[in-house]
Amino acid sequence: MVVAGLPDQAALAVIAFGILATLMLFESAYVVQPRSTMRAEAAAAAAWLGLCRPTVSWPRSSVKAALVWCLVVPVALAGLHFLGQLALAQLWSPVVDSVQQAARSQRRDMIVGGGWFSGVVLIPVFVAAIPEEVQYRSLVLVVQRMLGAWTSLPGVVRVAAVGLAAATSVAVFALSHAAFGPTNVVSAAIGGAFYTGLAVYTRSLWPAIVCHAAFDAMAISLTMF
């Protein structure tokens, strides 16, 4: 909202969500019995959304695991996605619809107008990666977590359900980019597959957030510089 020139609406949204979060945490920590700490409740809520430490084959405390799955692999996939989008744009860029051209132009003006820090840091991380990963990937992790607790279900059923949730997440994420043209839809589908795969494998949103932010930073840097 701030980048789009709506600071008043952004302030109201922050205040509203802040009050709501405070009330929820207060009730969980001091009204519901047995009592818990607000820090524990906040950590549990974040973990439920997927904002938790990745769980992979290495020990959870391993620095190597954190570097590999929260930095090396996501950035490498983002680079691969970026190169793929460049090739796709060279081979197929059929944006002839005036509405789609206007949407692209408006997005480009917003990115350039915000300056390099906004374009390379604020927009990729706080406007795109974090809210979009919570919006499109958290539900997949919730399904994975819930079905994992139902040990009576056959393994093939759990895999199929998580796969269906993942495919739906990728499809909806791709279609949300339709206003910017068909190449954006294809690129978003590729990126969505990367982000969803990282989230499901690591059971965390952080690798997907890093991958998403790195790709957007690369794409925006090309637009700006």
For every residue of 60-129, DSSP letters joined together read TT-HHHHHIIIIIHHHHHHHHHHHHHHHHHHH------HHHHHHHHHHHHHHHHTHHHIIIIIIIIIIII
CA distances from 220 to 18, 130, 205, 213 (A): 30, 16, 22, 10
pLDDT in the model for residue 103: 83
In the chain (225 residues long), the average pLDDT of successive 10-residue segments reads 66 78 66 63 79 74 80 96 91 74 84 82 90 92 86 86 95 93 92 96 95 95 79
pLDDT in the model for residue 46: 82
pLDDT in the model for residue 30: 60
pTM of the model: 0.81
pLDDT in the model for residue 136: 93
Single-letter code of the amino acid located at 191: G
pLDDT in the model for residue 24: 67
pLDDT in the model for residue 176: 92
pLDDT in the model for residue 209: 96
